[in-house]
Amino acid sequence: MIKIQSITKSFHDRMILNDVSGTFEKGKPNLIIGASGTGKSVLLKCIVGLSKPDFGQVFYDGRDFYEGDRDLKIEIRREMGMLFQGGALFDSKTVEQNVMFPLDVLTKMSSEEKLDRVNFCLKRVGLENVNRKMPSEISGGMKKRVGIARAIVNNPNYLFCDEPNSGLDPQTSVLIDDLIQDISEEFDITTIVVTHDMNSVMGIGERIMFIFKGQKLWEGTKDNITHSNVKELDDFVFSNKVMSGLRGK
């Protein structure tokens, strides 16, 4: 479980996040949603430690990330996996080398063990026979899946996904969403997904946090998101024509 408390962050006197608190549960995808520029990605960066908040705390199963020493930070980070918006695969490495990378650097596994683990993870995300391909030779959806395989290869306790569906067609988006949900449940991982895709929200939104102008305005599930009585959330949810049509009915 990840708990955040009073996360506040400014850039050049501009408040990006204002006193955001919440809890992200284990074994299910926790969604952070909101329109572009509301601070979702900054919040995610504050949670994973890529951007230090001006104020606030992040607890990983009770361990305070920012108050801890360097060793604790490294220990927590080695329990993380992250899927970046663009995949963030290493251009100079093959798919296999990309997925194997955390094992190469962070473990003392033998070559056979590493290869087995890589093949298991690639198979788990539905990719086979792409081991020797370079990232430039595979599609956007495949890159995302390789990114997920790399994120889970080291058996993480925490999985972070930054806009996993951006730039993907609806079918591939659903596939990626389902994969994130399945992996979270199967491996009992605390997963945080940042998205503004309503299809994802309605598909895997078992726990949702809505951010508006840097503040948490609402928290709930996909079942009660359509009748939240929060105007800003309604505006966001029903800006989608399909959702708008549903409200009409």
Partner 1 sequence: MIAEIGKYFMFLGNLFVNREAFRTYYRLVMEECVSIGLGSLFLVALVATFMGAVTTVQTAFNMVSPLIPKFVISQVVREMTVLELAPTIIAIIFAGKVGSSMSGLLGTMRITEQIDALEVMGINSVSYLVLPKIIASILMYPMLVIVAGVCALLGGYIVGIFAEVITPNDYVVGLRYSFNPFTITFALIKSVVFAFLVSSISCYQGYYTHGGALEVGVSSTKAVTNSVIAILISDYLLAQLLLAQ
Given the complex with partner 1, which of 103 and 122 has the nearer CB atom?
103
Give the residue, chosen from 24, 60, 65, 160, that forms a contact with partner 1 under the rule CB under 8 A: 160
**Count of residues interacting with partner 1 (CB under 8 A):** 27
Give the residue, chosen from 55, 59, 66, 84, that forms a contact with partner 1 under the rule CB under 8 A: 84
Given the complex with partner 1, which of 101 and 187 has the nearer CB atom?
101
Write phi, then psi, for 144 (nearest 5 degrees).
Answer: -60, -40
Given the complex with partner 1, which of 4 and 89 has the nearer CB atom?
89
Given the complex with partner 1, which of 154 and 173 has the nearer CB atom?
154
Given the complex with partner 1, which of 90 and 120 has the nearer CB atom?
90
Give the residue, chosen from 29, 102, 141, 205, that forms a contact with partner 1 under the rule CB under 8 A: 102
Taking CB under 8 A as the binding criterion, the range among 13-21, 101-109, 214-222, 225-233 that sits at the site for partner 1 is 101-109
At residue 227, what is the residue type? H
Spatial CA neighbour of 159 closest among 27, 67, 5, 32? 27
Q: Are 15 and 213 in contact (CB under 8 A)?
A: no
Binding to partner 1, residues 13-52 (CB under 8 A): 48-50
From the CB of 102, what's the least distance to partner 1, in Å? 5
From the CB of 77, what's the least distance to partner 1, in Å? 3
Q: Are 180 and 148 in contact (CB under 8 A)?
A: yes
Structure tokens at 182: 């399945």
Q: Can you say how many angstroms the Cα of residue 201 is from the centroid of all Cα atoms in its chain?
A: 13
Q: What x/- string results for residues 175 through 214 when contact with partner 1 is judged by CB under 8 A?
A: ----------------------------------------
Q: What x/- string results for residues 222 through 241 when contact with partner 1 is judged by CB under 8 A?
A: --------------------
Is residue 15 helix, strand or coil? strand
Give the residue, chosen from 37, 54, 61, 86, that forms a contact with partner 1 under the rule CB under 8 A: 86
Query: What whole-number distance in Å separates Cα of residue 124 and Cα of residue 122?
Result: 5
User: Nearest 5°: CA angle at 234, between 229 and 237?
Assistant: 140
The reply on whether position 53 binds partner 1 by CB under 8 A is: no
Measured distance between the N- and C-terminal CA atoms of the chain, rounded to whole angstroms: 38
Q: Could you count the other beta carbons within 10 Å of the beta carbon of residue 43?
A: 27
Query: What whole-number distance in Å separates Cα of residue 217 and Cα of residue 207?
Result: 14
Query: What whole-number distance in Å separates Cα of residue 124 and Cα of residue 78?
Result: 21
- Which residues form the interface with partner 1 (CB under 8 A)? 48-50, 70, 73-78, 80-82, 84-86, 88-91, 101-102, 104-106, 154, 160
